[in-house]
Amino acid sequence: GAVVSQHPSRVICKSGTSVKIECRSLDFQATTMFWYRQFPKQSLMLMATSNEGSKATYEQGVEKDKFLINHASLTLSTLTVTSAHPEDSSFYICSASPPRYNEQFFGPGTRLTVL
Amino acid sequence: RKEVEQDPGPFNVPEGATVAFNCTYSNSASQSFFWYRQDCRKEPKLLMSVYSSGNEDGRFTAQLNRASQYISLLIRDSKLSDSATYLCVVNPGYQKVTFGIGTKLQVIP
């Protein structure tokens, strides 16, 4: 299967700071990557679709100015949580699908805690 | 109606038991279906794809019923290591997938 990595795996930050999370496809190129958020005991919720070389597509209710997505290369997408607040504390996961695959492969996730 | 619906459980079953989960989806045009497994505080991992003809992988059997718009997962001879949350995932055909809330399985010694 394809491998997707994420960094960092865990981050604790103070309220008001910005946090950048990286998602990399290690053995394939991904023109599209997806960012999800999962609160405790809830399902994965798609936040946005990251498109290489163009603007991300955000799901309804997700603030694009708060969650900045940059897909600068075919193997890297970044999610920056700007001016983080405690309610942004969550498990953030990215996924990507290699060409001709239907299934998504997930990164190991980043657990964000905002104090 | 939610796009993908699952019974969140928990399903508490003894070791060796057979357990089945169902998942219904609302978009009749959906093209691909999957079961993922998610362990506590970890990312989802693909368990198996689901085809109309049904598919089996060891103790796991998945079925798709397009007419009734549901998919199922059957686990035979449950092991303690099967304890996890099982996510039903539906791909409507434009790469973006939709997750069910997940069904929690707890296998008891």
Pick from A53-62, A86-95, B53-62, B86-95: least confident: B86-95
Q: Name the band, by pLDDT with cuts 50, 70 and 90, for residue A66.
A: very high
Higher pLDDT, B53 or B62: B62
Distance from C-alpha of B32 to C-alpha of B38, rounded to nearest angstrom: 19
pLDDT of residue B93: 65
User: Measured between CB atoms, does A28 come within 8 Å of chain B?
Assistant: no
pLDDT of residue A13: 96
Classify burial at A14, counting beta carbons within 10 Å of its beta carbon; exposed 0-12, middle 13-18, buried 19 or more.
Answer: exposed
Residue A86 has pLDDT above 90, yes or no: yes
Residue B21: closest CA among B9, B31, B32? B9
Instruction: Give the pLDDT mean for B57-77.
Output: 95
Percentage of chain A beyond pLDDT 90 is 71
Distance from C-alpha of B93 to C-alpha of A102, rounded to nearest angstrom: 9
Residue A36: closest CA among A26, A18, A49? A49
Residue A104 has pLDDT above 90, yes or no: no
Nearest chain B CA: its distance from A24 CA (Å): 15
Percentage of chain B beyond pLDDT 90 is 68
CB contact under 8 A, A105 and B46: yes
Nearest chain B CA: its distance from A106 CA (Å): 7
User: Measured between CB atoms, does A67 come within 8 Å of chain B?
Assistant: no
* Tokens at A48, concatenated: 């946005």
Mutate: best of B33, B86, B95, partner A, most A CBs <10 A: B95
Instruction: Give the pLDDT mean for B43-55.
Output: 87
Whether residue A23 contacts residue A35, with contact meaning beta carbons closer than 8 Å, is answered with yes
pLDDT of residue A2: 81
User: Measured between CB atoms, does A5 come within 8 Å of chain B?
Assistant: no
Per-residue pLDDT tens digits for A5-18: 999 999 999 999 99
Burial B76-99 (b: 16+ CB within 10 A, else e): eebeeebbbbbbbbbbbeebebbb
Per-residue pLDDT tens digits for B5-43: 999 999 999 999 999 999 999 988 888 899 999 998 888
pLDDT of residue A4: 93
Residue B92 has pLDDT above 90, yes or no: no
pLDDT of residue B94: 60
Residue B85 has pLDDT above 90, yes or no: yes
Nearest chain A CA: its distance from B83 CA (Å): 15
Classify burial at B17, counting beta carbons within 10 Å of its beta carbon; exposed 0-12, middle 13-18, buried 19 or more.
Answer: middle
Q: Name every chain A residue with its beta carbon within 8 A of the beta carbon of B42.
A: 108-109
Distance from C-alpha of A106 to C-alpha of A100, rounded to nearest angstrom: 16
Name every residue whose Cβ is closer than 8 Å to that of residue A108 and which is 6 or more positions away in sequence.
Answer: A5, A6, A9, B42, B43
Distance from C-alpha of A82 to C-alpha of B23, rounded to nearest angstrom: 36
User: Measured between CB atoms, does A23 come within 8 Å of chain B?
Assistant: no
